[in-house]
Amino acid sequence: MTAAALLAEWEMVVGLEVHVQLKTRTKVFCTCSAEFGAPPNVNTCPVCLALPGALPVLNAKAVELATRAALALNCSVQPISVFARKNYFYPDSPKGYQISQFDKPLALDGFVEIGARADQSPIRIGVTRVHLEEDAGKSIHDRFTGVTAIDLNRSGTPLIEIVSEPELRSVEQVGAYLRVLKQIIEYIEVSDVSMEEGSLRVDANVSARRRGDTALGTRTEVKNLNSFSGVERALEVEFARQVEVLAAGGTVLQQTMLWDAGAAAVRPSRSKEGSHDYRYFPEPDLPPLILSIAWIAKMRKDLPELPAARRARFVTDYALGAYDVDVLTANSRVAEYFESVARAHGDAKAAANWVMGEVLAQLKAAGQDISSFRVRPADLAQLLDLVSGGVVSHIAAKQIFTRMVATGDSPGQLAEREGLIKVDDEAQLAAWLDEVIADMPGEAARYRAGETRLQGVLIGAAMKKSKGRADPKKLNQLLAARLGS
């Protein structure tokens, strides 16, 4: 039996634990800066260093952001939640425990819908819980030869852990879930969700069972995943390993696995802990977190428009296709930029084409976020007005846009200054055509003989002669009159 045929007999079952660092100015239980990139061990104090007598004080902003995230994930926020000590002993955890939440978390019973394009029915993946906790420090293994260094700047930064139900059945579903989750978190602005900076981290629990079985198999947890593609690849490798073990009559051990991206392999790290191994008990230095029903209701009311709702509205309000809607709503700031252009210009499809084309291409080339983009929505709308009004050609508009990106000047000023106002004077247009016919006599003769596909070649050459200023409609009319059979 081939490897593919063997894998087809088994089903992958995945549940994810996603850790998201909240976008607060300070840490969750002290006033140390939560800034990324500071020199090692600068952002520390007696609380996050766990010095004797130091007591935690809960960061109200972290509670607000965590609640917003839980509501956006359709969870039921609990009026009373309790912090607990999760006991484990790692060098980068100076207390010997982590302050987290266990049996009474912040929020329960949510869901995320994947595959929710305008032209597809969504699949609902349950979210078991969302809880608040603090991050550990960072162990650095490659700074000094033979020595592991500890940086405690990250110790105590606020996290939410988003735990899914084991309802994901393929790496494609896993990738879709993570991308939707990241998009929602970005829309509500509770985190930078940067995997490069560690503000979004994924632990994946995976098991294998024969297709048709309903009981869950023994799971392993794959850690050390620093990209969505890495999560997908690691799950493929670990699932194949488990299937090989089970098909040979072996037993999968419940353990934590580390993903080695360079070797494209998983390797055991330690036996997988259960909740009893952490010896949870209520944190004695923090009272229960009590949230009023009215405050939770206000937080729900204050949620911004979420991606799914915005996609549906773009279809209705702007009559755009599924592909355009997905591209334009992938990022909330891009969506807002598009809407501003569309409203000011009036032609949503033209606005969509320019934002998806020229705008996103410029942002990608510059590695830039649209929030700092030099071309304001009102100026792009004005440029589109010049095109639709026949003042400049589409080719000239692209040249003007490039100058707008470079200078920040308005399109009207640039069109005048660069001499890109559309030329529709027949004498001038005829002169440019005469030059093209003289330069390209063979193509002109073949066009006259009926090879009409050369029309675009000749018109393109004339537009180049005019530096994009010629009226292409009149050029086509003159060419047909001059050389048409």
* Domain-ending residue, one of 262, 297, 332: 297
For residues 269 and 387, membership in a common domain is answered with no
Q: pLDDT digits over 210-269, tens only?
A: 998 989 999 999 987 888 999 999 999 999 999 999 999 999 999 999 988 888 888 888
What are the beta bridge partners of residue 138? 151
For residues 394 and 433, membership in a common domain is answered with no
| 485, pLDDT greater than 60 | no
Average pLDDT on 81-101 reads 91
Could you tell me the pLDDT band of residue 146, with boundaries at 50, 70 and 90? confident
Give the pLDDT score at 393.
Answer: 84
Is the pLDDT higher at 248 or at 448? Answer: 248
For residues 468 and 447, membership in a common domain is answered with yes
Percent of the chain with pLDDT over 90: 66
Give the pLDDT score at 271.
Answer: 65
Domain residue limits at 370: 305-417
| 421, pLDDT greater than 90 | no
For residues 86 and 149, membership in a common domain is answered with yes
* Domain-ending residue, one of 274, 297, 320: 297
Is the pLDDT higher at 359 or at 467? Answer: 359
Average pLDDT on 104-128 reads 87
| 353, pLDDT greater than 80 | yes
Give the pLDDT score at 431.
Answer: 76
Give the pLDDT score at 275.
Answer: 58
Q: pLDDT digits over 5-29, tens only?
A: 788 889 999 999 999 999 999 999 9
Average pLDDT on 286-300 reads 97
For residues 101 and 208, membership in a common domain is answered with yes
For residues 121 and 49, membership in a common domain is answered with yes
For residues 352 and 475, membership in a common domain is answered with no
How far apart are alpha carbons 126 and 168 in whole angstroms?
A: 9
* Domain-ending residue, one of 270, 297, 324: 297
| 119, pLDDT greater than 70 | no
Could you tell me the pLDDT band of residue 420, with boundaries at 50, 70 and 90? confident
For residues 272 and 345, membership in a common domain is answered with no
Give the pLDDT score at 272.
Answer: 59
Give the pLDDT score at 152.
Answer: 94
| 307, pLDDT greater than 60 | yes
For residues 274 and 171, membership in a common domain is answered with yes
Q: pLDDT digits over 40-89, tens only?
A: 999 999 999 999 999 999 999 999 999 999 999 999 999 999 999 999 88
The region of weakest confidence among 140-154, 361-375, 381-395, 470-484 is: 470-484
For residues 202 and 285, membership in a common domain is answered with yes
How far apart are alpha carbons 175 and 273 in whole angstroms?
A: 26
For residues 310 and 447, membership in a common domain is answered with no
Average pLDDT on 329-340 reads 96
For residues 194 and 164, membership in a common domain is answered with yes
For residue 442, the domain's CATH number is 1.10.10.410
Sign of the dihedral through C-alpha 264, 269, 272, 277: negative
The region of weakest confidence among 31-35, 119-123, 247-251 is: 119-123
| 283, pLDDT greater than 80 | yes
Query: Who contacts 320 (Cβ-Cβ below 8 Å, separation ≥6)?
Result: 314, 328, 348, 349, 352
Average pLDDT, the chain: 89
The three state secondary structure string of the chain is CCHHHHHHCEEEEEEEEEEEECCCCECCCCCCECCCCCCCCCCCCCCCCCCCCCCCCCCHHHHHHHHHHHHHCCCEECCEECEEEEECCCCCCCCCEEEEECCCCCEEEEEEEECCCCCCCCEEEEEEEEEEEECCCEEEEEEECCEEEEECCCCCCEEEEEEECCCECCHHHHHHHHHHHHHHHHHHCCCCCCCCCCCEEEEEEEEEEECCCCCCCCCEEEEEECCHHHHHHHHHHHHHHHHHHHHCCCCCCCEEEEEECCCCEEEEEEECCCHHHHCCEECCCCCCEECCHHHHHHHHHCCCCCHHHHHHHHHHHHCCCHHHHHHHHCCHHHHHHHHHHHHHHCCHHHHHHHHHHHHHHHHHHHCCCHHHCCCCHHHHHHHHHHHHCCCCCHHHHHHHHHHHHHHCCCHHHHHHHCCCCCECCHHHHHHHHHHHHHHCHHHHHHHHCCCHHHHHHHHHHHHHHCCCCECHHHHHHHHHHHHCC
Total structural domains in the chain? Answer: 3
In contact, 62 and 28? CB cutoff 8 Å: yes
